[in-house]
Amino acid sequence: MTSKLGERVVVHAPAKVNLELRVGPLQDDGYHPLVSVFQAVSLFEEVVASTTASGTGISVTVRGPGAAQVPTDGSNLAVRAARLLAERAGVEPAAHLSLRKAAPVAGGMAGGSADAAATLLACDLLWDAGLSREELLALAAELGSDVPFALVGGTALGTGRGDRVTPVLARGEFHWVLALAETGLSTPAVYAEHDRLVAAAAAVPDLEPRVSDDLAAALLAGDPVSLGACLSNDLQAAALSLRPELRAVVRLGEEHGALGILLSGSGPTVALLASGSDQALELAVALTASGVAADVRRVTGPVPGARQVESAAVSPLHPSRRGR
């Protein structure tokens, strides 16, 4: 079916927190083997995909915090997602993408990956491409390590480069406070610092890193106290080495009784786990009053992955509609 002028599809996709991130040794291909447990949290990127008067090409506009730092040319991950989907589905790549940022740019929460995941679903619906869940996930894996998880959401285990995603059973709701930094951190720079620190310590990373059994048990039990004790990120030392001012956030969280504190991904966002909504509010007030963070958000997790929030009533990551 050909899209008509004026049609639009709105999709939200969540940012993530890494509950545990294990990093293996640098490989010959320049990548590290990763094992991570992701949790999608209630901080949503929004993508509006709409038809254009020209009827051809992909254009993009960006608004929200950090919008000026997001490219609007072909290097934008959402633009790449739309073009890749059009190519594989055999449709004309014609749409305008309006991105509303909520996750920090270069903040370790996979906001760009969430944009790409939302774009895949939005353009699939806008163009009536009819790709299956498996096909969308395969495209997501081609685009980047965190894009498949942004489609799936919930709580999941990521392996390989983080692009192979398996759901993890997690009971209950967890309350997080996010301390956002004024500027982002370069992921390659953090990995380079990680490698430097490992070499300086003469440490030998596990060839096949794995997540802890205690973390899986805490998630299964829905126990925030146990989960807080299990939070771990192999990149945290490197990020703190590059941005030592983040230690003030960690200290303040400890002073106010956060159950667990870690940097999400390659940072610099600091995620603090609270016992419930009351403590989350207390932590947020303390962080805001101290001025150690540029912005503070209270969120919960896990939440679903990319889903349509406007236009045709279609389930997110719908089964294939081919043959209709």
Q: Is 153 annotated as a binding-site member?
A: no
241 and 136 within one domain: no
| Residue 164 CB coordination number (10 Å) | 16
Domain end, chosen from 134, 168, 202, is at 168
Return the amino acid letter for 278. Answer: D
146 and 21 within one domain: yes
Closest by alpha carbon to 238, among 188, 163, 177, 202?
A: 188
190 and 164 within one domain: no
Q: What is the CATH number of the domain that holds 98?
A: 3.30.230.10
For residues 118 and 12, give the distance between their C-alpha atoms in angstroms, rounded to a whole number: 6
Q: Is 108 annotated as a binding-site member?
A: yes
Q: What tokens were used for 149? A: 């998880």
Contact 125, 311 (CB under 8 A): yes
Cα dihedral 141, 143, 146, 151 sign: negative
Which is more confidently placed, 160 or 94? Answer: 94
Q: Is 105 annotated as a binding-site member?
A: yes
DSSP alpha helices (H): ranges in 131-263?
A: 133-143, 147-152, 187-200, 213-221, 224-230, 236-242, 247-255
Which residue bears the tokens 């999941």? 156
Would you say residue 90 lies in a domain? yes
Q: How does 11-29 read in b/e, with b if 16+ C-beta sit within 10 Å?
A: bbbbbbbbbbbbbbebeee
Would you say residue 318 lies in a domain? no
Q: Is 167 annotated as a binding-site member?
A: no
Pairing of strands 94-100, 34-50: antiparallel
Domain coverage including residue 68 = 8-168
25 and 160 within one domain: yes
Would you say residue 181 lies in a domain? yes
Q: What share of the chain is helix, strand, coil (3-state, %, to 5)?
A: 35, 25, 40
Domain end, chosen from 150, 168, 186, is at 168
Taking residues 106-123, report their average pLDDT: 95
For residues 95 and 3, give the distance between their C-alpha atoms in angstroms, rounded to a whole number: 10
End-to-end CA distance of the chain: 11
Would you say residue 306 lies in a domain? no
288 and 182 within one domain: yes
Q: What tokens were used for 308? A: 């349509």
Q: Is 154 annotated as a binding-site member?
A: no
Mean pLDDT check: name the lowest of 26-30, 105-109, 117-121, 315-319: 315-319
Would you say residue 324 lies in a domain? no
Would you say residue 52 lies in a domain? yes
80 and 13 within one domain: yes
Statement: residue 134 has pLDDT above 60: yes
**Number of folded domains in the chain?**
2
Cα dihedral 193, 195, 201, 205 sign: positive
Q: What is the CATH number of the domain that holds 267?
A: 3.30.70.890
Domain end, chosen from 168, 195, 210, is at 168
The beta strands (E) that lie in the chain are given as: 8-23, 34-50, 57-63, 94-100, 155-159, 164-167, 174-180, 232-233, 260-263, 270-274, 295-301, 307-310
163 and 94 within one domain: yes
162 and 32 within one domain: yes
131 and 54 within one domain: yes
- Note the pLDDT tens digit of each residue in 142-152: 998 899 999 99
Would you say residue 234 lies in a domain? yes
148 and 109 within one domain: yes
213 and 161 within one domain: no
- Note the pLDDT tens digit of each residue in 283-303: 999 999 999 999 999 999 999
Closest by alpha carbon to 116, among 75, 172, 69?
A: 75
- Note the pLDDT tens digit of each residue in 251-291: 999 999 999 999 999 889 999 999 999 999 999 999 999 99
Q: Is 224 annotated as a binding-site member?
A: no
For residues 14 and 241, give the distance between their C-alpha atoms in angstroms, rounded to a whole number: 28
Taking residues 13-25, report their average pLDDT: 93
Q: What is the pTM of this model?
A: 0.88
Could you give the residue numbers annotated as active site?
A: 16, 146
12 and 160 within one domain: yes
What 3-state DSSP class applies to 305? coil
